[in-house]
Structure 1
């Protein structure tokens, strides 16, 4: 989709719905590169690319999450010529929520769903008290696990990755919710069954942020359950989006 905040790895011009995906802290758009293979032709996957990584490696990092949401929203608004759902994992869930808030005033809203994954509700986000120096970032990454822990195995790669990780962790840690009107689209909050950082009780707090439907779901795995069971996650998303895709019947996820 060209330069800017959004990447489409497999364009689907005839898609009925766009699924706009927001990576976790330290993550990149490529985390969603394989998702089109799990989704039917009716869905086009669009991934957000934060600065300072992959094809945006040379760009300055952004430290303010709400300012970043302002910038992302400009690009998102340009592709809302059809219904869209937002999926955000960990820090990406808050970024997706803040973008959804900025789109919401349009009526009828083109946003049909927000999927908030592995991150506490905006009003429940609290500072960790960490300064995220090298040792604290290492410990945090090790505790979360998943593909984000790969740089720990290579010191040179770690040195390249550390500034981005530290920036993103601080950006998420410094985020503070500003009260406002709830969303008018449904929210599904998704947790990993073995994730101590985001429990089923944490997921239920997202209910206060929408006047539409709410559901809390859990899937097998830890904080990065999305990497462990991507097929199950995509099937869950499709289950919730079915009415927006094909009124004649359920759209099944493709596994493989």
Structure 2
């Protein structure tokens, strides 16, 4: 496969029967999904999405709205949809994956075999706070609280370097407006953290967004259970993707 700047930490698999596209949380990059290939079935090809404004794409301007991002993303990934595929999106990535599924359907293309939104309330539930409008200190405090990583205090320069991209990502969530459309038809399995601020009821509300099979699975820990409960998350995804790839 030709080099694609929108893919990072990508490992091609000749045995692939299904591609799993993974979308980052606000301020995140493909590093969150490194090593996933080793823990998922051999016929699943993991495709982490690298958005502009981070890592090797640091000097590219980050998108500030989903409305601008999603059509570009659909164009850039078009050549990768030759295999059946599924979407996993964590926090902000859940909104991006959801809107991309709708964009593909609007273009007359295939929906994902499954959508795995994680750590985000249903898209019809409005964002309560405009996080992108907060001061730098408030944004940093929010990131530390949600990530439960006090060691971030050791790298204040890194946080300051990442703030512009993080603010763009937060704006992407803050400006999101849910559009009423016919629901998707693909299976939707929603993941949540048992100690996250997002409630089970807010996760259950995703049900109205699909006519396909629906499930909510709660994992231990808080908002970033994809790190703290990584093994459990990958075990569940492995089981579910094995069924999809048959």
Q: TM-score, normalised by structure 2?
A: 0.92
1:76 aligns with 2:77: yes
RMSD of aligned C-alpha atoms? Answer: 1.8
1:211 aligns with 211
2:29 touches 2:54 (CA, 8 Å); kept in 1?
yes
Say if 1:82 and 1:110, in contact at 8 Å, map to a contact too: no
**Residue among 115, 132, 135 paired with 2:134:** 132
Are the aligned partners of 2:30 and 2:49 in contact in 1 as well (CA < 8 Å)? yes
Which residue of structure 2 aligns with residue 63 of structure 1?
64
1:225 has 2:229 as partner: no
Deviations 1:121-145 (A, max 9, x none): 1111324044122122012112202
Alpha-carbon distance, 1:110 to partner: 5.1
Q: Residue 234 of structure 1: CA displacement? A: 1.3
List aligned pairs for 1:1-256, cutoff 5 A: 2-105=3-106, 109=110, 111-130=112-131, 131-146=133-148, 151-196=152-197, 198-246=198-246
Cα distance between partner residues in 2 of 1:231 and 1:219: 10
Moved more, 237-246 or 15-24: 237-246
Provide structure 1 residue ranges, at least 5 long, that are not aligned to the other structure: 247-256
The Cα shift of 1:105 comes to 4.4
Of 75-84 and 184-193, deviating more is: 75-84
Number of equivalences: 244
Is contact 1:187-1:210 (8 Å) kept?
Answer: yes
CA distance in 1, matches of 2:43, 2:130: 44
Distance 1:48 1:31 in 2: 11
TM-superposed CA distance for 1:77, in Å, is 2.3
C-alpha distance in 2, partners of 1:174/1:152?
29
Kindly provide the CA deviation profile for residues 177-197 of structure 1, in whole angstroms up to 9, marking residues without a partner as x.
11112111011111011112x
SS at match of 1:104: helix
